[in-house]
Structures are given as C-alpha cells and as structure tokens.
Homo-oligomer: A and B are copies of this chain.
C-alpha cells in the first residue's frame, strides 16, 4: 500500500508545462484581516477602515495585498517547495483584482522552467502561479524559482529550460482597481502628508521603527497562511540543519518591512506589483527588523483618477538601525554586495494618491 502521506515533489517529479492545482481554497474573513494587523502592526488606511476604502471606490473591506499573497503562496508549498533548499526569488508579482472579505481564492501553478544543478543532487524549478477568486477572476499572479532536492541523485533529468523572467512589471502592465479614485484624498486620515508628487527618484527613507519578532509571532502568521513548510515549525527537525532552529517564513519578513515602511511611505496604499524579491539572509525569532527604502521610478498612471505609481526598493535589516547601512552595490562581476545585516531586498510598485 502506498504511503498516504504527502512528502512533496522532488526535482525529478516536475516536468515542463506541468499544471498543478493546489489545495485548499480559502475564504478570507474579518478574522484574517484583524490577525494580519495584530501580526504586523500594519496601519495603512485602506486596510484599516471600511469607511475609507468605500470612500475611494471599493465595495467592501479590502484585504491587504500581502495577506492575499501569503495565503496564495502558502497553497503552493505542499506541491512545489516541500523539499526546497532555498527560495531563490520572486518576480512579476501582479496584483490584479482586489480581494474583499468574503472572497474565496484558489491557486494553481505551471512549471515554466527546470535546470538541474551540475552536482545532480538538486535543481532549480521555475514556477508561474495564479490565484483566482470565486468568480474565476484572477486576483494575483506571480513567478518564483526555488532550489529543490532530488529524491534520487541517480535520476536522469533531461528537461532543461530557463525562462526569461522580467524583474520589472512595466507600468503599462499594472492593473488599477477599476473603481479606485483618489479624489479629495484626506492625508489627515492616512497619517502621511506626502503624496505622489512629493517623492523624488533616488530619495532614501530610513523608516526608523524596529520590530522584534518572537516565535509565536512568525509561527502564528505562517499557520494562518496555511503554509506547511517544516522549516518554520519543527524545532526538532531544524536542529539537524545549519540554523539549529526554526526559520522565519520570509513572507513574514516582507510583511513586517512593509508595515515598518508606513512611516515614510504611508500613502503607498496599494501594491500594484512586486517586481522582484530576494531573501538575502535568514531571520529567526529574537531578531529585530528595521527597513529602509529608495525611490526608484515614478509613473503618473491616471491623472483623472489621481493615481500615481512609485517603484520602491525596500531593504529589511536585522538587529541594527538602518542609518549606517549602505544601499547594496553591484560589483564588477554583476554580483550584488549586501551589508551582512540585510535580510530582504524587495522591489515593488505602490499606488499613491496624486495632488
């Protein structure tokens, strides 16, 4: 009798163009929204106040883009990354339809690339995933690549294809929520006086606040997302690892940094896209996270609806304030040199009200 326990797919189990339908569809509720605030301390206007989200054109209680992302991402773990060694990166994360309390999202993926490592013990799997709502409308799509162990190092893996991943979602590809209008935007409510025009390309913002993360914080978050990766939950298992302890889910690091960025980017109310993301170093319970950002690009998306986009890079830093941390530099060999305290580099596009 075959074991009924899912041990996840290994590198040799994937094939190009394979489609995977992930369990379990998930209804987003008022409970998820409140927990997300409790887990991250997020203070962005449209996810705090139904009245405000209705004022700017939404029909109900808007679910934070990153909460949707983490829940959708969690669904892919049992099929894609149960045997992952490392999440190498994200790209082309596109937030399409807004998600409201009461919506149910379902997630599926396609294998878009495979490349065995030269030592034949593992390989890189490139995956394109999407989440749809109960009406079948796409709410989110993203790509990621992940290094996955082989079950059998002798297994022969002939399929090789490395997709051409774009590290930028062009402004023409951004989907504005259809009914969103930032007319008569009230900065007293949002808590930041700075609108789209007030930011300058090249400007750096050190977000000042820090947040120390404990074990229950990151494990509650990761369980809420129904992400089942063992590395986050099983201390006994992790004692055999190089880390000797549970690893914080990288998505929680992203959310904490986004939450810290409120102080300086408080009107970056909606994520249009995550252009690319890298977990530069692991984070653990007990670490204190800080963040700093740089304004990369600006596009005035809809002057009529008073919506502008700002492309931002945010770096997450652990255990030291950010003021002395240099922006990573690109070396001659095209490698990026990160300060050793940097844990996250996130390149994303925010929708801002214009004047």
Contact = CB atoms under 8 A, between A and B. Distances in A.
Interface of A: 1, 3-7, 21-27, 29-35, 37-45, 48-52, 61, 78, 102, 104, 106, 134, 188-192, 194, 198-200, 203, 205-212, 214-217, 219-224, 226, 228, 230, 233-237, 246, 263-266, 286, 288, 319-321
Contact of A34 (B6, B45, B104, B224): B224
A106 B55 CA distance: 15
A195 to B, nearest CB: 11
A197 to B, nearest CB: 13
A209 B236 contact: no
A340 to B, nearest CB: 16
Nearest to A259: B223
A191 B246 contact: no
Given A5-B206, A206-B5, A209-B230, A25 B48 contact: yes
Contact of A27 (B42, B61, B216, B230): B61
A134 to B, nearest CB: 5
Contacts of A194: 4
A27 B53 CA distance: 11
Given A39-B223, A43-B23, A234-B209, A106 B189 contact: yes
Contact of A31 (B6, B26, B34): B34
A228 B29 CA distance: 25
Given A209-B233, A211-B234, A233-B209, A24 B4 contact: no
Contacts of A32: 31, 34
Contacts of A216: 214-217, 220
Given A210-B234, A220-B217, A49 B37 contact: no
Contact of A4 (B6, B190, B264): B264
A192 B35 CA distance: 28
Contacts of A212: 215, 219, 233-236, 246
B205 A230 contact: no
- 9 nearest interchain CB pairs? A31-B34, A23-B191, A216-B216, A41-B223, A210-B234, A29-B30, A38-B224, A212-B235, A25-B49
Contacts of A25: 45, 48-49, 51-52, 189
A228 B214 contact: no
10 contacts: A5-B206, A6-B263, A7-B208, A24-B45, A24-B52, A24-B190, A29-B34, A30-B34, A38-B220, A209-B234
A190 B75 CA distance: 11
A160 to B, nearest CB: 28
B192 A210 contact: no
Contacts of A23: 43, 45, 188-192, 266
A37 B223 contact: yes
A45 to B, nearest CB: 5
Contacts of A246: 212
Contacts of A45: 23-25
A104 B192 CA distance: 19
A61 B203 CA distance: 46
Given A217-B216, A220-B217, A223-B41, A5 B207 contact: yes
